[in-house]
Amino acid sequence: MSHSKNKPNSLISANSPYLLQHAYNPVKWNEWSNAVLETARTENKLLIVSIGYAACHWCHVMEKECFEDTETAELMNAHFINIKVDREERPDIDQVYMDAIQLLTGQGGWPLNAICLPNGKPLYVGTYFPKSKWNYLLNKLVDFYTHDPEEAHAYANKLTTGLALMESFEVKLDVYISNAIVHQQIDKMKLQTDKEFGGFNWAPKFILPVNWELFLQYGALFRDTDSTLLAALTCENIARGGIHDLLAGGFARYSTDSRWLVPHFEKMLYDNAQLISLYSKLYSHTKDKKYKAVIEQTFAFVTSELKAENGLYSAAIDADTMGEEGLFYVWTAEEIKKAIPKNWEFAFAAFGISEDGNWEDGKNILYSAQSDEALSKLLELPIEDVIAIKENIKNTLYLDRLNRKQPLIDDKQLCAWNALLVIGLADASKALNSEVYRTACKTLIDSMIVHFYRGGILYRIVKNKQQVKGFAEDYALFCEALLMAAEACNHVQYLSLAKEIMDLALQFFYDDTHQLFQFTAKDEVALIKKKYDTQDSVMPSSNACFAKCLFYLSYYFENDTYDQICEDMLLKIMPKIQEHSINYSKWMQVILLKSEGFNQVIATGKNAMSGIQQFQTNYLPNTICFAFENASIPLFKGKTPSQELSIYVCRDKTCDKPIHSFQNIQL
């Protein structure tokens, strides 16, 4: 809808690109605030809490069908207090109402629309609605609340009680930490994998990197070839599929089919950051050059498409262009022929293109339909020529695509998501022994320190103004990023800052009763329930990240309290792991750190730095490595700096006598 046709609503002063997209809707939208909730209570009106994000295709569809429609807007304005929420800006609100829809239906997604009592307790929760169903639903709920308010309150109270029970954790006295639970759950997870295309055996398919990192860690520690092969199979098929942008690099959010062919076209920083980590670990483990290529392509994508002038990285790229999903990315056969008239037949064979299209309306999604070896046989060309022709075609199509109208970028920068990229760059720098990635890692973590951490408070968002304080996931992932950057860049000062962040997190978020970290700070105004983020989804659980950080910090600073809190958290979550293994992979990674032995390789003296950097190219899932020249961190004390190369190899908390060659290290 043209902005000139409507006066702006109150979202015109919002910071979020998603909220600003709705600033000219005829709906009288509000941002979430205590004042707006008080208005709902005073006027005794139901709330509509509509949650989405800027890159979301179906959010755009519902906006066009419902929120830009005058009739619908009149209905919403007359009977409801209307609140728009950016799930990335306020994940705390999103999680509460996402739990509600999952409790009711077992499913979720965005847009997420909750119709609530004036006190915020949900009465009805759904996702996308076309106009007719949306208007019908709203009229029915207004009628229900008007004529039977006691029943409405009783139902909402019952649902809210159910939500609170989701945060309960059963205490079992016979639980102890061992790798047995990981063995059991890995076997269970293997049965759910797709042995042909990788991932799990259902669609749509989300990438879920944390699961495959667990498979790699498990495969390496227990020499379990099947686990390693399943992770490799998944990564290979993701890289070959339409979910991977073959022209610009980068990965879409998920695939709607089992083959990874048809993506939901938005590209999120958090996916691409985690995939840099995953492919780096896979490359370290296998030394297969095709994984190195994916690392380089993904890094090139985030740098060229998402990097902002302040050194941070923006959140996402929209799925839609000019209101059409995937328009920027797909090709008709005629468009391919016009762009590459001499090599279009080669392109058809290489990228799965057909005259009728491999998607909808005669459009084609580019994917790696055949290997270079298969193309070489099919086209009777030397493989070197195949590779050269393919790269030339990709470059030509990439330049041609730049002439199209580009999808919008959600340019806010999020602390937790940038932290994931720091971790990815740290893993890449170790796997490739690359100064390029080490420099990028250090530059980004330094930018994060400047922009997100001020006056003893970590902020979540950088965009024009910093108005949202960090949540548990921001503290957890920033702490982990500092630890990973410290090791990759051999920068001891990051370890002290990681400890400072952890101590703040314990002060602001740790709940002694639950022995877990709340998602929102303890001094914040409470929502309708406390949320403890314990399950992995497209991002790892913040509590599991805290557990990992506590474990690492307990070694660096010889702090038994950190180790005990980590152990308490693991014991608390063990029964949950047995129920839903796929959602607890990050926890199982930490269990393997504790149960399978934790190595520290500390080098000093001649060539210590270059030796450590080369040693880190190995896949070392349960090992930290440092070169040092002073003992400012407790872990380094007693390891005397020397002129000749001396390497201290420790297992758990016992160190061997120093050795003088990296070739003699046995872990």
pLDDT tens across 557-588, in order?
Answer: 999 999 999 999 999 999 899 888 899 999 99
Q: How confident is the model at residue 308 (pLDDT cuts 50, 70, 90)?
A: very high
Band of the pLDDT at 632, cuts 50, 70, 90?
A: confident
Phi and psi torsions of 664, nearest 5°: -90, 0
pLDDT at position 466 over 70? no
* Average pLDDT of the residues in 545-567: 97
Q: What is the pLDDT of residues 27-55, one digit of tens each?
A: 999 999 999 999 999 999 999 999 999 99
Query: Given pLDDT bands bounded at 50, 70 and 90, which one contains residue 465?
Result: low
Best CA proximity match to 319, nearest among 275, 268, 249, 367: 268
Q: Above 90 in pLDDT, residue 630?
A: no
Q: Where in the chain is the domain with CATH 3.40.30.10?
A: 3-165
Omega before residue 407 within 30° of 0, cis: no
Q: pLDDT digit string (tens) for 588-598?
A: 999 999 999 99
DSSP state of 635: G
In which band, very low, low, confident or very high, does the pLDDT at 555 lie, cut at 50, 70 and 90? very high
| Range scoring the smallest mean pLDDT among 126-140, 393-407, 455-469 | 455-469
* Amino acid occupying residue 644: E
Mean pLDDT, to the nearest integer, of 248-277? 96
- Furthest C-alpha separation in the chain: 85
pTM value is 0.94
For the cut 60, the answer to whether the pLDDT of residue 667 exceeds it is: yes
Q: What is the pLDDT of residue 629?
A: 77
The conformation of residue 359, written as its DSSP 8-state character, comes to S
Residue spans of beta strands (DSSP E) within 58-149: 80-86, 112-116, 122-126
pLDDT for 2: 41
Q: What pLDDT was estimated at residue 464? A: 67
The pLDDT score that the predictor gives to residue 314 is 96
Please, which pLDDT band fits residue 1 given cuts at 50, 70 and 90?
A: very low
Task: Compute the average pLDDT of residues 79-89.
Answer: 96
Amino acid at 372: D
Rounded Cα distance, 552 and 166, in Å: 29
Q: Measured between alpha carbons, how far is 535 from 253 in angstroms, rounded to an integer?
A: 19
pLDDT for res 312? 97
| Average pLDDT for 494-514 | 97
CA-nearest of 152, 148, 65, 88 to 115 is 152
The answer to whether residue 4 scores a pLDDT higher than 60 is: no
The CATH number corresponding to 3-165 among 3.40.190.10, 1.10.10.1100, 3.40.30.10, 3.30.300.90 equals 3.40.30.10
pLDDT at 633: 92
Q: What is the pLDDT of residue 422?
A: 98
